[in-house]
Amino acid sequence: MSNDAMIGQPNPSIAFFPLASRRDLVRRSAEQLDRLNGRAAADFWKSTCRGLGDELLELGCPEDEMRAEIMDFQAAVQMELMWLHRSDEARG
């Protein structure tokens, strides 16, 4: 509990574990996205990002912070996709 919450501040800040740091989530999302093409890939991606955003909002995350988290998550997945393909190139 933060000091502000203990002294009766009405809106204590809540720290959320960054989505981009959730390694298993980033890896799973990149692998799934890599398997899909076209509309299926777009639908998966929209659904994943909306679901994560909704989850953060339900936990009390402010909307602007939620949007930043989703953008950071998207960047992490993009980097993971690049690493997946870099590994494929090294093998083949």
Query: How many domains does the structure of the chain reveal?
Result: 1
Separation of alpha carbons 25 and 44, rounded Å: 14
Buried b (16+ CB within 10 A) or exposed e, 56-67: beeeebeeeebe
Q: Is residue 28 part of a domain?
A: yes
Q: What tokens appear for 52 in the block?
A: 């994560």
Q: Is residue 11 part of a domain?
A: no
Residue 87: give the domain boundaries: 17-91
Q: Is residue 50 part of a domain?
A: yes
**pLDDT bracket for residue 6 (50, 70, 90):** very low
Picking from 80, 63, 64, the residue whose alpha carbon sits closest to that of residue 20 is 80
Q: Is residue 3 part of a domain?
A: no
Q: Is residue 8 part of a domain?
A: no
Q: pTM to 2 decimals? A: 0.78
Write the single-letter amino acid at 23: R
Q: Is residue 65 part of a domain?
A: yes
Rounded to an integer, the average pLDDT of 28-45 is: 97
> How confident is the model over 10-28, as pLDDT tens digits?
555 666 789 999 999 999 9
Which of 32-36, 76-80, 87-91 has the least mean pLDDT?
87-91
Say if CB 59 and CB 16 are below 8 A apart.
yes
Q: Is residue 12 part of a domain?
A: no
